[in-house]
Structure 1
Amino acid sequence: MKAARYYDNHDIRIEDIPEQKLEPGTVRIDVAWCGICGTDLHEYLDGPIFCPPKGHPHPISGEESPVTLGHEFSGVISEVGEGVDDLKVGDHVVVEPYIVGDDVYTGPESKDYHLSKDMNFIGLAGRGGGLSENIVVRRRWVHKIDSKLPLDEAALIEPLSVAYHAVERSGAKEGQTALVGGAGPIGLLTATVLHALGLKVYISELSPLRRQKALDAGVVDEAFNPAEVDVVEEVRKRTDGKGADVAFECTSVQVVFDTLMDAVRPTGVIVVVSIWGRKAQFDMHKLVMKELDVRGTIGYVNTHPKTIALVESGKVDLKPFITKKIALEHLVDEGFDTLINHNETAVKILVSPSGKGLDEK
């Protein structure tokens, strides 16, 4: 089967590789669509980061580069392994792409399996990936979806689950006011979850194209250009001088974080969603004097079922965020190149490993 294989930074190859073996307790999924994530771009530009380098196998998967990429994907079950009796061939599914130790509890009450030692991701540290024609995944990480939900939109459930977990971490409630810093893919999806849960949502973004995308998708009440207006004052005007109840940092840019510190009300909550590659400056005095909560968030934990239910309820429309569909052979020249050099023009680029669906509008 065809697969996108990560060898090293700036070295991704489309190769023909053997299919994975179907084991007891697993299912084989024919991949319909796989999204390109910012993490994939970081591996390409600066890696290996999550991908285990050649000669350094991952302690859980036991694999080393080259590994198959892709962790945001949807598909259809084509084979069911021994011991799996609640899924069947033909079921539409998405994957919660974790690699965690066999000794880690991942049951429905767990709130921390995503923080376990040596945690990594399918499609980064081994065990196949969504940028291949099919993949074998353990039953625990496979989530069935309604067959009425288009599979291209379903490929966005994984990043939407990141946003859902971030919103959960904030404690945001219906009727509150939220400010999102940054209208990239995760910022837009965070705004989407907030809007669906009944909050008033504002977003701050320099790019006019991204601001317009947020408005066109109907997931924000207003989109501010921080180069033209004082975002803090605009938020205060709309909250009777109090400030936002919750805020989400989705850029890893210092000035954005500083803006959120000023824009939230006393006792407000700031959730840092983006991955920072350097230390940030932090106004500890402001944190104390406003009694702010600043919280980190990473991935998701038992979040997929709630995220799927939100999408299937019709409260979330993921179609506006799909900006391009490409064949696996054009992963780098049409996918990575666009997202690295023309990122304002795209939100989510989907790849069809089989080539199916590319002619559909």
Structure 2
Amino acid sequence: MKAARYYARGDIRIEDIPEPTVAPGTVGVDVAWCGICGTDLHEYGEGPIFIPPAGHPQPISGESAPVTLGHEMSGVVYALGEGVTDLAVGDHVVVEPYIIHDGVDTGPDSRDYHLSPDMNFIGLGGRGGGLGEKIAVKRRWVHKIADSIPLDQAALIEPLSVGYHAAERAGAKAGQTALVAGAGPIGLLTSAILKALGVTVIISEPSPLRRQKAIDSGVAQHVLDPRSDDVVATVRRLTGGHGADIGFECTSVQPALDTLVDALRPLGVLVIVAIWSHPASFDVQKIVLKELDVRGTIAYVNSHPPTIRLVEEGKVDLAPFITGRIGLDHLIDSGFETLIHHNETAVKILVSPSGRGL
């Protein structure tokens, strides 16, 4: 089967590799679509980061580069390993792409398995990936979805779950007002979750194309341009002088972080969603005097089931966020290069590893 294999920074190759073995306790998934994530772009341009370099095996998977890429995937079950009785061949599924030590509590009440030692992701740390035609995944990480969800849209459930967990970390509730800094893929999807939860969403985004996507997708009640709008003053006006209840930093840009601190009301909550590759700074006195909570968030933890329900119930429409569909052979020229050099024009580019979805 064909797969995109990461060898080193700037070196991704489309190769023929053996199909995976569907071992006991695993599920064979015929991948329909896989999204290109910002993490994949960082690995390509700056890595290896999550990917274990050649000769340095990942502690759990035992694998090192080359590895198959792709962790935002949807597909159809084609085989069931021994002992898997609660799924059927033909089921539509998405993958929660974790690599976690056996023995870690990953049950429905766990709130921290995503923070366990040596955690990594399928499609980065080994165990196959969604940028291959097929994958075998432990049953725990496979989530059935309704056939009514188109499989291309289902590939966005993984990044949508990032937004769901961020909203959980904020304690977001209906009736609150949130300021979201950044209308890239995660900012938009976090906004979609917030709106589905009944939160009033204000987005601040300097790119006119991304602002238009925020407007067209309907994920925010207010969309501001920080280059011309006084974001802090506007947020206060929209909230009766109080400020935003919660803020989401989705840019890894210092001015956006500063704006959020200023725009939050006293006792507000600031959630850092973006992955920062460089140090940031706070005016700590402002945080002290307003008694702000500053919280980090990474990935998701038992977030896929409630996220899937929101999509199945029609509370989140994922169609507007798909801006391209390509085959595996065009992964670099039409996928990575577009997202690196023309990222304002694209939100989520999906890849059909087999080409059957095109």
Instruction: Kindly report which structure 2 residues correspond to 1:31-110, keeping only aligned pairs within 5 A, or say none.
Output: 31-110=31-110
Structure 2 partner of 1:211: 211
Q: C-alpha distance in 2, partners of 1:38/1:117?
A: 23
Instruction: Kindly report which structure 2 residues correspond to 1:153-232, keeping only aligned pairs within 5 A, or say none.
Output: 153-232=153-232
The secondary structure found in structure 2 opposite 1:257 is: helix
Instruction: Kindly report which structure 2 residues correspond to 1:209-288, keeping only aligned pairs within 5 A, or say none.
Output: 209-288=209-288
Amino acid at match of 1:336: F
Amino acid at match of 1:228: S
1:81: Cα distance to partner? 0.5
Question: How many positions carry a matched residue from both structures?
Answer: 358
Root-mean-square deviation (Å): 0.5
Structure 1 partner of 2:340: 340
Q: C-alpha distance in 1, partners of 2:96/2:119?
A: 13
The secondary structure found in structure 2 opposite 1:125 is: coil
Amino acid at match of 1:70: G
The secondary structure found in structure 1 opposite 2:195 is: helix
Amino acid at match of 1:293: D
The secondary structure found in structure 1 opposite 2:56 is: coil
Residue deviations 1:234-286 (CA, integer Å, cap 9, x gap) = 00011111000001000000000000000010000000000011111111111
Q: C-alpha distance in 2, partners of 1:20/1:200?
A: 45
Q: C-alpha distance in 1, partners of 2:20/2:78?
A: 13
Residue deviations 1:304-340 (CA, integer Å, cap 9, x gap) = 0000000000010000000000000000010000000
1:117: Cα distance to partner? 0.3
Structure 1 partner of 2:301: 301
Amino acid at match of 1:109: D
Q: C-alpha distance in 2, partners of 1:78/1:223?
A: 44
Q: C-alpha distance in 1, partners of 2:222/2:211?
A: 9
Amino acid at match of 1:10: G
Structure 1 partner of 2:19: 19
Residue deviations 1:42-68 (CA, integer Å, cap 9, x gap) = 000000000000010000000000000
1:148: Cα distance to partner? 1.1
Structure 1 partner of 2:313: 313
Instruction: Kindly report which structure 2 residues correspond to 1:314-333, keeping only aligned pairs within 5 A, or say none.
Output: 314-333=314-333
Q: C-alpha distance in 1, partners of 2:225/2:214?
A: 12
Amino acid at match of 1:129: G
TM-score, normalization: structure 1?
A: 0.99
The secondary structure found in structure 2 opposite 1:329 is: helix
Q: C-alpha distance in 1, partners of 2:80/2:20?
A: 13
Matching of residue 138 in structure 1 with residue 138 in structure 2: yes
Q: C-alpha distance in 1, partners of 2:172/2:53?
A: 40
TM-score, normalization: structure 2?
A: 1.00
Q: C-alpha distance in 1, partners of 2:172/2:35?
A: 28
Unaligned runs of 5+ in 2: none
Residue deviations 1:197-234 (CA, integer Å, cap 9, x gap) = 11110000000000010010011011100000110000
Identity, % of aligned pairs? Answer: 71
1:36: Cα distance to partner? 0.1
Q: C-alpha distance in 1, partners of 2:268/2:151?
A: 38
The secondary structure found in structure 2 opposite 1:203 is: strand
The secondary structure found in structure 1 opposite 2:32 is: strand
1:123: Cα distance to partner? 0.2
1:303: Cα distance to partner? 0.5
1:357: Cα distance to partner? 2.0
